[in-house]
Structure 1
Amino acid sequence: MTAAPVTARALLPLFLISLAAVAVETGLTRFFAVASWSEYGYWVISIAMTGFAVSGVVMVMGRDTLLRNASWLLPVLPLALMATGAAGWVGVTQNPFNPLELQNGVAWQGQAWNILLYYVALFPFFFLTGLAVSLNFVLYARAIGRVYGWDLVGAGVGAIAAIGLLYLLHPFDLVPALLPVMALAAILTPAARPVLLRGAAFAVLLASEALILSAASPRVSEYKPVSIARNVPESRVLAEVLSPRGVYQLLDNFTERLDTDISNNLGMLGLEPPGRSYGLYRDGIRIAALPSVPITAPYASGTLAAGAYALLDQPRVLLIGASGGFRIAEALALDARSITVQEPEPMLRHILIHGIGPVPPLPRDPRVMLSDTHPLRATGDAFDLIDYAGDILDAEDQSRHLYAAEAIAGSLSRLAAGGLLSLPVNIRELPVYAIRVLSTVRAALVLSGRADPAAHVVVLRSAWNLRILVSPVPWTPERVAALHRFAEERSFDISFAPHIDEVAPDRTVWNELPPITLESDSIGTGREGTPDAIAQEAPGVLAGTPLMDAFDRSPVTEDRPWLAPLVRLSALPLALERVEILPQAEIGTLVNVAVLAQAALLALLVALLPALRRGGIGAPAGMVLRALPYFAALGLGFLFIEIALIEQAAFLLEDRASGFALVLTAMLVFSGLGSMMAGRYAAAPRGALLAAGAVILAWTALALFGLRDLVGATLDWPWLARALLVVALTAPAGVALGLPFPLGLDRFARDAPRLLPWAWALNGAFSVVSTPLANLLAKTSGLSALLVGALLCYVTAMSVFPRNESR
């Protein structure tokens, strides 16, 4: 086939296909978050990149045949994308996947089959998308930079378009709404019989939408909390808000109650229990209770959180999280002199100011101030008590940064003399989560110059939750004795405190808390035969000598701001043997490892393709040996940088969806612009690559040592200013990252044009590897490990690029 002209009209269908594909990918990620659990949304990325990689393999095997038939393939592929997109959506919505059964020794095999069915449903769509892109690469090889640029810019526009549509459409409606974009791509593709093509596009669009309307059945998992709440008789949805960060629903039913940790002795104390409330759900997960009547807190002195207030006289309180306003009422009932509220969850903050449905705004009170300052930024005031809400981690994923050692050290510096920091930890699933927070508290105390961390810490707990009370000055016996009296009256336990054996040598343990290990099925016992896992481990952790077993007890840091996973990678075999005791967050890690293993196998097969294919791929062995590390390194390095940026942007913007969309859009658009510039350097590609590599290496090094500080210093900027900062930070890296791939394609294609589809396959296959690998690296070694990995990848790419630039 003769070379086709590289015009904007010729590349516009590619732009639209890339736009639709990334928008569909984003929509499917949101579907998993709403219908199932958000941690399984990364499967979509893996499936998409698998499809792209296999399309490159097919292009290698059938390059000549595909090129001969390109004139009819180009207009037909968008039609096929509509059909496979609709069929894939139907298959996904009908899949009965239940991740909870992955922990069942019998049922897990059925769920493994359901995971495979997700791949079966979605692979055809992403395979055909990759085939359309790779066919354009080969067809327009003499302008590879422009082609790649149109592809990337289209993908970037698709990401931001999907986020915009999520303000208007439920995630279950997004994929069907995108099918017309592929119909438009078909219509705009140059064809011999355009009238016939337009008719076919209209017919396939109608058939695809009809299939979705008749057969698709998107639904929320029956095991998610919102499904259980909706099945209660007379349950009502009082309000619903659509946004990229989540589908918010306000529910009313007789089971909705304020979920706070209250003493079993409430009646003996003469206190009334909490009344009914509304439940606020995001993506089917309950994130807060909201008041259904004017807020009062007659039960406040019977809560676990009241322990800190019992030691302070009319404290000046900083509340981190308001729990829908209930924490404010509780603090007032506990005689707080003044209350400053910092609410990290944007919707909850909006509700405090404006209300939602029948829930009114927060009543005005001169003692209460709602601060616009980010919880990690000092307000300028000193407080007697900094009190974290018990549901803060459930309400907002980015609140995990508040549990980093650096953040806790910062909170200690904001306390007045004699003040307290009160940190809640849920111990319903694994007590070792609390041990990890204790380890982090120790690291924070060391950071702030305290020589004996154990002297500053008390652990107060019930059966299901605990509070770590941290004092900037050592605890005195008198203060510990006062807290012990508080705990005994309410049947709470003090699992650790300095001087406790002096002031309460014969204390009773009211709430058993057996230690859970992966090494054995036995349950240990604590003081006087009563199990107390926290009491057993706290002294060693605070002394800096934690127990070494299958669980990771290292501190949470700004570089690694995750409490989970707890299971060490070296202990995965043990985790699989006792998977039934692990919480949902740990199961996601096991699935991530399985996805990585599958991705590594695919990458190996693609890498070996020149050896496996009879006659090779029509390229010199030396070029193949250079192309393999070059395009593999680009596939890994690009996504390592992108994922590290997404994490920082999500933190800065207080929203993972916005951070993901903004970084993805900026990376793709600016990389597209960089790709379009590649043609200018055809005469000296190695020099251009070294210049781009120098920019990438310099940017990555600066990010490695200064990005977190910059993000922390700008947390209080207006949202638009922070968003513009994300774009400004992404732009130089994005432009430079856009050059190596087209420069490599152009350079390698001079001596071996048949390398092009294999290079595309390699890049895709190692991009499949990079997503689960980056997730594991970040959570086990830290975000800095991603940037170091990216540095190594681009150094590798620059070192293997061919030196001979003669044509």
Structure 2
Amino acid sequence: MQSLIPLFLIAGAAVGVEIALTRFFAVASWSEYGYWVISIAMTGFAVSGVVMVLGRQVFLRHARWLLPLLPIAMLAVGGAGWIAATLNAFNPLELQNPATAEGQLVNIALYYAALFPFFFLAGLAVSLNFVVHAGEVGRVYGYDLLGAGTGAVLALVLMFVLHPFMLVPGLLPLLAVATMISGGMRWRIAALLVLAATEAAVFGLAAPKVNEFKAIYAPLNVPDSRVVAELLSPRGVYQLLDNFTERLDTDVSNNAGVLGVPAPPRSFGLYRDGSRIAALPNGQPEAAHAPASLDGAPYALLEAPRVLVLGGAGGFRAAEALALGASHVTVIEPEPVLRDALLNGIGPSPAPAADPRVVVSAAHPLTAAGAYDLVDIAGDFLAADDQNRNVYTAEALAGFLARLAPDGIISVPIGIRELPVYAVRVLATAREALRLAGVAEPTRHVAVIRSAWNLRVLIARQPFDEARVQRLAAFADERSFDLSYAPGLAVEGREIWNDLPPISLESSTVDQSGGAQDAVAREAEQVLAGTPPEDAFDRSAVTADRPWLSPLVRLPALGAALARIEILPQQEIGLLVNVAVLAQAVVLALLVSLLPLLARGALRVPLPVLGRALVYFPALGLGFLMIEIAFIEHAALLLGDRTSGFALVLTTMLVFSGIGAMWAGRVAAPVRALRLAVLVALGCAGLALLGIRPAVLAALDLPWAARVVVLVLALAPISLALGFPFPLGLDRFQQEGPALLPWAWALNGAFSVVATPLANLLGHGMGLSWLLVAGMICYTGALLSWPRKRQ
């Protein structure tokens, strides 16, 4: 048993470093670039299998010293790769400028050059263990998966005590331990020396830093700026800044002085991973500015409303609601650090004073009970946490409509400073929510008011009558806001205070027809009537199955997006990164798949067997990742955090799949075991397809630990079943030729590279349900391609 413990440690170090590198990209640049890490890792595993196919006999002859050497080599190249990655001058903003893009493409290539050797050696170590222990495939695969799951948990735990820039150095010692276990005294001394030299080089030469384009960079570097509180967690690095630039970020009228209203107050700025998520009060929250704010629009239509506020903004939002006439305010803050700020304060920012009119609820926004006159979503709510996007779905808005009093309103904010089409998509979602609520004429239940930078969509349970429209128009005119849409409001012939020209990927110029324009007003009535314009941008409703406002660019319009990449906001670049990674992955997968045609002598197996292997192992690589990514998205909603959801789904599926793999190595009837395992997996996926959404909603208000237990119990059966097909396939196919074993490992790795970007594109484009369907199709294909009985 002890001989496979080094494999356990190598797999743990590889997955732990992979997660640590994704956190590095999230803090130093943008989380979208974490896809590169996954791509680099799986590419390394795939190429290692190819090399093992071509040099299998050489590796077997030298396995005795290669097994302890490989983890030492990983340690050395891992440290060197980390140093190179931190010194890389990559700047994502320069990708959007044709004059500077070429240099950034070189920097991306340098990331690959720096990090590929580590994952290549990790894959080589795993595939060598498969070759050396060819008679114990299930056990080897089990140790590999269990080690990977343990590495994911270790990385998650270390995030509570180590800054993301320290995670990679903190995980590298696992590799020294692997060598010390697998080798004799000389290897142990060598491992300690290499570890000491590597860590010394890392701490002396590595220079991880936050890129200057991050939101935190400028305020962090103004005179007298101070970080007055810091919190480390898997959710991110939280920093509370105090400097003269920090103010409550709310949209206030240019006429505030005429109205006798002061500017928004000074505040602290709370940043997570370098992005600003909220303003926290410097003292007790002030709200004298509220009557001049865009957020005050729905309050002008209601008398002493009972308000459900989503997103507390450290107490500012409740104070604003009271200043605008609310009789009672229920605040729900899903982001745990911001919720703790409301209850206990953070650092020098105090908790708001108790007020009998304000209640901080522990309920989830999607399950909160009660009747309200106004559901008011805070302006910074969407940016405060990735999972808050689930509130912007048609199903969620329909649920809020059901909680409203007869004359109640939902107020939904969205930024328009980058692309007005985001607001149009919110309008499409509002229409679908009204349709779900049984409203026959959505056009009469929606109004849109905006400034130059932000917009509020007001969704009413009852149709907007003429009196309400007039009150809203008076509110807008007095503050120089624009009423972009309201029932019965003429689009033409009215004064526009804030110019908002339309942006198109089809045109290289901005339409300037001489006067001020309102891009949202042009499209609002069409979208609400169900006949949106058709161009490069997606204007479909955001749903629970597709809970993303971005990307907006349709896949057929990628060429136009690349041609006008300079006008696209950062969140749209993630789509382009996905497509680029997918294109690279497909090329790699084709190269690995074609290897048998180039090296038939190395494989020495019949073409029909190769054909079946070309279906079986790619199907497993694609299917496992499709199902895993679908569960990660649902787990992120269940746990309220993508990092925790990712780590726990990854850990649970790897650990139980590892147990399944070990079990598979002991079965006497592999064909029957495979059929049963695939049927169990298909049954579990089918149940998830039908019931996962209501199950998640039913569990949202359970304690966090209870939700973790529910998640693990739900994932255990399908994960156990998914552990069977790969080791059973390895064992069966290698009977046709031993060289198929490392090639199968390469195929699985290559198509796992394809699976990650493909799953992201499929999920965003068609929905999470299609990921489960795709996974089920893949495992059915694997079952059908099982090799026939040898003659």
TM-score bin (small chain): over 0.9
- Map 1:255-266 to 2 at 5 A: 255-266=245-256
Taking the aligned partners of 1:431 and 1:445, their CA distance within structure 2 comes to 22
Select the residue among 274, 285, 299 that pairs with 1:309: 299
Confirm or deny: 8 A CA contact 1:481 1:500 kept in the other structure.
no
Match of 1:454 in 2: 443
Taking the aligned partners of 2:457 and 2:304, their CA distance within structure 1 comes to 21
Match of 1:801 in 2: 786
* 1:500 CA drift (Å): 2.0
* 1:228 CA drift (Å): 0.9
Select the residue among 708, 716, 720 that pairs with 1:723: 708
Match of 1:714 in 2: 699
Taking the aligned partners of 1:361 and 1:306, their CA distance within structure 2 comes to 23
- Map 1:4-43 to 2 at 5 A: 8-43=1-36
TM-score by structure 1 length? 0.97
1:500 is paired with a residue whose SS is coil
Taking the aligned partners of 2:368 and 2:266, their CA distance within structure 1 comes to 35
Taking the aligned partners of 1:79 and 1:530, their CA distance within structure 2 comes to 66
Match of 2:50 in 1: 57
Match of 1:507 in 2: 494
* 1:324 CA drift (Å): 1.8
Select the residue among 313, 320, 329 that pairs with 1:339: 329
Counting matched residue pairs gives 791
The residue identity in structure 1 corresponding to 2:787 is P
* 1:521 CA drift (Å): 2.5
Match of 2:145 in 1: 152
Match of 1:752 in 2: 737
TM-score by structure 2 length? 0.99
- 1:133 is the counterpart of 2:137: no
Instruction: Check 1:759–1:505 CA distance in 2 against 1; reply closer, same or farther (3 A cut).
Output: closer
- Map 1:303-702 to 2 at 5 A: 303-379=293-369, 381-501=370-490, 507-524=494-511, 529-613=515-599, 615-681=601-667, 683-702=668-687
Taking the aligned partners of 1:690 and 1:649, their CA distance within structure 2 comes to 28
Taking the aligned partners of 1:388 and 1:135, their CA distance within structure 2 comes to 55
* 1:122 CA drift (Å): 0.5
| Cα offsets for 1:743-779 (capped at 9, x unmatched) | 0000111121110000000000000000111111111
- Map 1:768-787 to 2 at 5 A: 768-787=753-772
Taking the aligned partners of 2:494 and 2:259, their CA distance within structure 1 comes to 20
Taking the aligned partners of 1:232 and 1:635, their CA distance within structure 2 comes to 49
The residue identity in structure 1 corresponding to 2:381 is I
Match of 2:726 in 1: 741
Taking the aligned partners of 1:213 and 1:751, their CA distance within structure 2 comes to 50
Select the residue among 63, 73, 77 that pairs with 1:84: 77
- 1:99 is the counterpart of 2:88: no
Confirm or deny: 8 A CA contact 1:274 1:299 kept in the other structure.
yes
* 1:371 CA drift (Å): 0.4
Confirm or deny: 8 A CA contact 1:525 1:532 kept in the other structure.
no
Confirm or deny: 8 A CA contact 1:317 1:387 kept in the other structure.
yes
The residue identity in structure 2 corresponding to 1:415 is L
| Cα offsets for 1:711-758 (capped at 9, x unmatched) | 011111111111111111110111001000000000111121110000
Match of 2:717 in 1: 732
Match of 1:182 in 2: 175
Confirm or deny: 8 A CA contact 1:225 1:285 kept in the other structure.
yes
The residue identity in structure 1 corresponding to 2:468 is R
| Cα offsets for 1:266-313 (capped at 9, x unmatched) | 000011111211000000001000111221211100000111001111
Taking the aligned partners of 2:285 and 2:67, their CA distance within structure 1 comes to 63
Query: 4+ runs of 1 displaced by more than 6 Å?
Result: none
* 1:613 CA drift (Å): 1.9
Taking the aligned partners of 1:384 and 1:21, their CA distance within structure 2 comes to 53
Select the residue among 259, 274, 280 that pairs with 1:290: 280
Taking the aligned partners of 1:616 and 1:51, their CA distance within structure 2 comes to 21
2:408 is paired with a residue whose SS is strand
Taking the aligned partners of 1:465 and 1:595, their CA distance within structure 2 comes to 33
- Map 1:156-235 to 2 at 5 A: 156-189=149-182, 191=183, 194-235=184-225
Structure 1, 452-461 or 287-296: larger mean CA deviation: 287-296
Taking the aligned partners of 2:187 and 2:732, their CA distance within structure 1 comes to 37
Taking the aligned partners of 2:205 and 2:495, their CA distance within structure 1 comes to 60
| Cα offsets for 1:455-504 (capped at 9, x unmatched) | 00000000000100110111100110011111100000100000223xx9
| Cα offsets for 1:230-275 (capped at 9, x unmatched) | 1100000000000001000000000111110000000000111112
* 1:198 CA drift (Å): 1.0
Confirm or deny: 8 A CA contact 2:602 2:739 kept in the other structure.
no
Confirm or deny: 8 A CA contact 1:408 1:441 kept in the other structure.
yes
Taking the aligned partners of 2:556 and 2:120, their CA distance within structure 1 comes to 35
1:250 is paired with a residue whose SS is strand
Confirm or deny: 8 A CA contact 2:284 2:353 kept in the other structure.
no
Confirm or deny: 8 A CA contact 2:315 2:351 kept in the other structure.
no
Taking the aligned partners of 1:232 and 1:470, their CA distance within structure 2 comes to 41
* 1:345 CA drift (Å): 1.1
| Cα offsets for 1:162-213 (capped at 9, x unmatched) | 1001101001111111121111000000x4xx11111101110011011101
* 1:525 CA drift (Å): 6.4
Taking the aligned partners of 2:790 and 2:137, their CA distance within structure 1 comes to 17
Confirm or deny: 8 A CA contact 2:469 2:487 kept in the other structure.
yes
Structure 1, 28-37 or 616-625: larger mean CA deviation: 616-625
Taking the aligned partners of 1:198 and 1:470, their CA distance within structure 2 comes to 68
* 1:805 CA drift (Å): 6.5
2:624 is paired with a residue whose SS is helix
Match of 1:73 in 2: 66
Cα RMSD of the aligned pairs, angstroms, is 1.2
Confirm or deny: 8 A CA contact 2:176 2:195 kept in the other structure.
yes
| Cα offsets for 1:592-642 (capped at 9, x unmatched) | 101100000000000000002252522221211111110000000000011
Confirm or deny: 8 A CA contact 1:524 1:531 kept in the other structure.
no
| Cα offsets for 1:561-616 (capped at 9, x unmatched) | 00011000000000011111000011111111011000000000000000022525
1:459 is paired with a residue whose SS is strand
Task: State percent identity of aligned pairs.
Answer: 62
Confirm or deny: 8 A CA contact 2:69 2:179 kept in the other structure.
yes
Confirm or deny: 8 A CA contact 1:234 1:253 kept in the other structure.
yes
Taking the aligned partners of 1:51 and 1:414, their CA distance within structure 2 comes to 52
Match of 1:5 in 2: none
| Cα offsets for 1:665-693 (capped at 9, x unmatched) | 00000000000001222x42111110000
| Cα offsets for 1:314-366 (capped at 9, x unmatched) | 11000000112111110111111000000121110011111111011121000
- 1:239 is the counterpart of 2:226: no
Q: Unaligned 5+ residue runs, structure 2?
A: none
* 1:505 CA drift (Å): 8.1
Taking the aligned partners of 2:605 and 2:349, their CA distance within structure 1 comes to 68
* 1:393 CA drift (Å): 1.1
